[in-house]
Structure 1
Amino acid sequence: MAGVITAMGSLVWVTMATSKPLVQVSCGYAHTLALTDEGFIYSWGANSYGQLGTGNKSNQAVPTLINMDKERLVEVAACHTSHTSAAKTQSGQVLMWGQCRGQAVAYPHLTHFTNTDDVFACFATPAVTWHLLSVDGDDYLTVAQSLKREFDSPEISDLKFLVDGKCIHVHKALLKIRCEHFRALLNETDEETIEIHQFSYLVYRAFLEYLYTDTINLPPEDAIGLLDLATYYRESRLKRLCQETIKRGITEENAITLLSAAVKYEARDLEEFCFKFCVNHLTAVTQTQAFADMDHDLLKNFISKASRYGAFKN
């Protein structure tokens, strides 16, 4: 019970000391990691294997900022059975430190993994597997891998989209299976080339790639355009993925831009998230150019809602 109380007290300390809301907390065997909404990690607890990521093996009774010369972090991970720590960057890179196959790694190191689960499956002691790992040879491709490889490949495609003067090669059957819009469109036309004018090449290519891979890989500002497309095509899952991408990439500089987009495309959950971020970083957000250029009606509604939220009490 004392350990739980200490951890809760430390979380309060992080929030009060940094004035930054926490978005994720992970607990290891005897250490804790906390991620702020700006992508910084604080750690405290036991450090016999360097699991705090401070560059040494000294235990820390109070939360300590881990200094990383990396891009914004969006995920932290620890396991209650191990002294291992992991984190994931906005671009998908995975870092690890602590007890790694019996060795002590006192500072975060870059790995070849694409998710933090694999860190604990391959390097933690004892190993912990949260999802299935493929043990097939390199010459075997799953269905998902095969589809991904054939995206935008002209070899066996039977349809191409022309966007901003650039071609994207696809397969009619897959598009019909994955998207109601294309099922209706391709049942009415035998064209081998379709021109697209209302969306950019970057956005439309990301949309078609999503149909092949079920994932999106865009920075938050470009994900706004994909959110517009998802709304237009009534792709609810894609719309949710866009919102999650935008949430992970929000900063003080782009918060108002993302809030405006959420309002425009009626993404209520994203709108509330962006609004709370703006209120929690009100001073910095109001000094940005995006705030100065804010639409009058949106500005009026923002000030009114922020006032009700208690943002101007002090």
Structure 2
Amino acid sequence: MEDEPPPQGVSAKALEATLLSALKMLDVGKWPIFSLCSPEEIKLIRQACVFGSAGNEVLYATENDEVFVLGMNCSGCLGTGDMQSTIEPRRLDSLCGKKIACLSYGSGPHVVLATEEGEVYTWGHNAYSQLGNGTTNHGFVPCQVSTNLVNKKVIEVACGSHHSMVLTSDGEVYTWGYNNSGQVGSGSTANQPIPRRVTSCLQNKIVVNIACGQMCSMAVVENGEVYVWGYNGNGQLGLGSSGNQPTPCRIAALQGIRVQRVACGYAHTLVLTDEGQIYAWGANSYGQLGTGNKSNQSYPTTVNVDKDRVVEIAACHSAHTSAAKTQSGQVYMWGQCRGQSVTFPHLTHFACTDDVFACFATPAVMWRLLSVEPDDHLTVAQSLKKEFDNPETADLKFLVDGKYIHVHKVLLKIRCEHFRSILNNDDEIIEMSEFSYPVYRAFLEYLYTDNIRLPPEDAIGLLDLATLYRENRLKKLCQQTIKQGICEENAIALLSAAVKYEAQDLEEFCFRFCINHLTVVTQTQGFADMDHDLLKNFISKASRVGAFRN
């Protein structure tokens, strides 16, 4: 299809029409696993998450809220009911129609998903009860987690290697799963088979953001304080020590600093303040703290990202990579990047932090559920396309073969010289008998879209109309459609049309096609019914090009 130039004008009535949301296509081209999907499938994707030990699994949702998975299916993490890998997208019927709000995954892997209604579904690896269903049996299909979450709306989810955490709309945190280092915050190191609320010093706090490292957990409360618990062998809790923490503990070193977001890598932590500043701590063997060296830090340390205000931080518990985006749209990365150690924030050419993980993280997995945001703005051309045959905004009707086609006088006058000369302001209904309904509808739609949608046989009628109305560009489009749809059965009919409408280029094309398929074409009904003069000319011309030579 050609690019659509904006129309030269539009009626006030048409501009009053309601503009429906238009969604951009999600750019997933940098993630290798999407090479298994067809271009048609990719165009429909509106949400996606690449996960797994090597980025070999993916879940995605389409514009129709259908959910598909494909990949290796380790531990049944695709939720298809088995452990069979698949290179063809498989539909998860149990999740179709449920709008996905957020998703996270562990190392097993296991998957935790929340819907926009606040329901939680889990599946996959479950040796440590990380699915929250009270068992240690792997979950091969998505199952809702309801224990202790009844009447709770979950708005955020996070997974460590083998533990899970959710945040509810009323600011409560619930955890379950592996707890060898106190990462579920219960005060013990016993695994937790079902969701339980994290209390201790969070009891009367309203939490606004959560994150998990491999074996630690973090929560930001509404006043900007950060609470941490779990494994601390690399100083990833930011408490100035390396001892594990079995219950939430406030990071005292951030006193007076209001944190908005927290992000966890494998064993390092990033926070973003309300002033757009980054602090980092924890493991640093790949430079993932961005401090210019590879020394671990157990206290929060300032990360200098140019002089611009940072608006987004990114890290993933399966990688040693860090990324940030500034207010001006610049994206920086540091840490383990394609096997190299980048110890200072490095300015990239990317437009989003997601691309850092697609191209440089090991493994290449997503740090969040990647989503397309609705774009409520339509161009003039898109608006007009939606208004074709809309009775609510139209001020003129064509009656063709007993059917109405609703249009706008001003647009027809602007787009077509024929209508400019014949339309009157008092016209309300015009009867059309010269052309069929499909042909005339296609013509009017062309005036709104600059494109035609017709089978080649109907395109002959549209070619007749284009000739009558002196629409030269439309004639070219008709000829192109006819060329693309020619076959042995319709070749003679198309040739006859080309001759009738003096479309010399099309006539030559159809003639060559007939000669190249002469044996079959001469046995068709179209050849038997061929006009006598056209038949004589065809035989004469075919003879001149040697079609009947022995």
Whether the TM-score (by the shorter chain) exceeds 0.5 is yes
CA-to-aligned-CA distance 1:190-222 (integer Å, 9 cap, x gap): 211111111111111110000000000000001
Residue 157 of structure 1, CA deviation = 1.1
Shift of 1:103: 4.6
Report matched runs for 1:40-189 at 5 Å. 101-103=31-33, 109=38, 111-112=40-41, 137-186=374-423, 188=424
**Offset of residue 183 of structure 1:** 0.3
Residue of structure 2 equivalent to 1:291: 527
- Higher fraction of helix: 1
Q: Take 1:280 and 1:302, find their aligned partners in 2: how far apart are those partners?
A: 13
Structure 2: segments with no counterpart, 5+ residues = 1-28, 44-357, 360-371
C-alpha separation between the residues in 2 aligned to 1:282 and 1:245? 22
| In 2: Cα distance, 1:258 partner to 1:301 partner | 15
1:111 aligns to what SS in structure 2? helix
Corresponding residue to 1:221 among 454, 457, 464: 457
Structure 1 residue ranges, 4+ long, deviating more than 4 angstroms after superposition: 103-106
**1:142: Cα distance to partner?**
1.5
**SS in structure 2 opposite 1:169?**
strand
Task: State how far apart, in whole Å, the 2-side matches of 1:176 and 1:235 are.
Answer: 14
Q: Does 1:200 align with 2:436?
A: yes
Name 1:249's counterpart in structure 2. Answer: 485
Q: Distance in 2 between matches of 1:111 and 1:189?
A: 44
TM-score (norm 1): 0.58
User: Aligned-pair distance for 1:310?
Assistant: 1.4
User: Are residue 212 (structure 1) and residue 448 (structure 2) matched?
Assistant: yes
Q: What letter matches 1:246 in structure 2?
A: I
Letter in 1 for 2:504: R
Distance 1:258 1:282 in 2: 15
RMSD in angstroms over aligned alpha carbons?
Answer: 2.4
For 2:30 and 2:496, the matched residues in 1 are separated by: 44
Higher strand share: 2
- State how far apart, in whole Å, the 1-side matches of 2:546 and 2:375 are: 57
Q: Please state how far the C-alpha of 1:143 moved relative to its aligned partner.
A: 1.4
1:236 paired with 2:166, answer: no
Aligned to 2:540: 304
Q: 1:148 is paired with a residue of what secondary structure?
A: helix
CA distance in 2, matches of 1:136, 1:229: 42
In the alignment, the residues of structure 2 paired with residue 189 and residue 102 of structure 1 have an alpha-carbon distance, to the nearest angstrom, of 58
Which residue in 2 is equivalent to 1:48? none
Question: What SS class does the counterpart of residue 488 from structure 2 fall into?
Answer: coil
For structure 1, list consecutive stretches of 5 or more residues without a partner in the other structure.
1-98, 115-124, 127-134
1:269 paired to 2:505: yes
Give 1:259's aligned residue. 495
Measure, in 2, the Cα distance between the counterparts of 1:260 and 1:231. Answer: 15
Instruction: Report the alpha carbon displacement of residue 137 of structure 1 after superposing the two structures with TM.
Output: 3.5
Cα distance in structure 1, aligned partners of 2:512 and 2:505: 11
- 1:111 is displaced (CA, Å) by 1.6
Alpha-carbon separation, structure 2, partners of 1:260 and 1:203: 18
- 2:426 is paired with a residue whose SS is coil
**Are residues 105 and 136 of structure 1, via their aligned partners in 2, closer, same or farther at CA, if it must alter by over 3 Å?**
closer
Q: 1:210 & 1:147 partners in 2: Cα distance?
A: 11
Q: Identify if the C-alpha distance between structure 1 residues 184 and 166 changes in structure 2 by more than 3 Å, giving closer, same or farther.
A: same
Distance 1:231 1:277 in 2: 23
Note closer, same or farther for the CA distance 1:195–1:277 as it changes in structure 2 (3 Å cut): same
**Residue type of the alignment partner of 1:111:** E
Give the letter for the 2:402 counterpart. G
Which structure has more RCO (C-alpha within 8 Å, separation ≥ 6)? 2
Q: Which amino acid aligns with 1:295?
A: D
Deviation, structure 1 residue 110: 6.3
Give 2:427's aligned amino acid.
E
- Specify the code of the residue in structure 2 equivalent to 1:139: D
- In 2, Cα distance between the equivalents of 1:201 and 1:160? 13
Residues in 2 aligned to 1:257 and 1:100: alpha-carbon distance in whole angstroms: 47
Work out the CA distance in 2 between the residues paired with 1:308 and 1:266: 21
The one-letter amino acid of 1:102's match is P
Distance 1:104 1:157 in 2: 43
- CA distance in structure 2 between the aligned counterparts of 1:180 and 1:313, rounded to whole angstroms: 49
Give the Å deviation of 1:189: 5.5
Relative to 1, partners in 2 of residues 1:221 and 1:151: Cα closer, same or farther, differing over 3 Å?
same
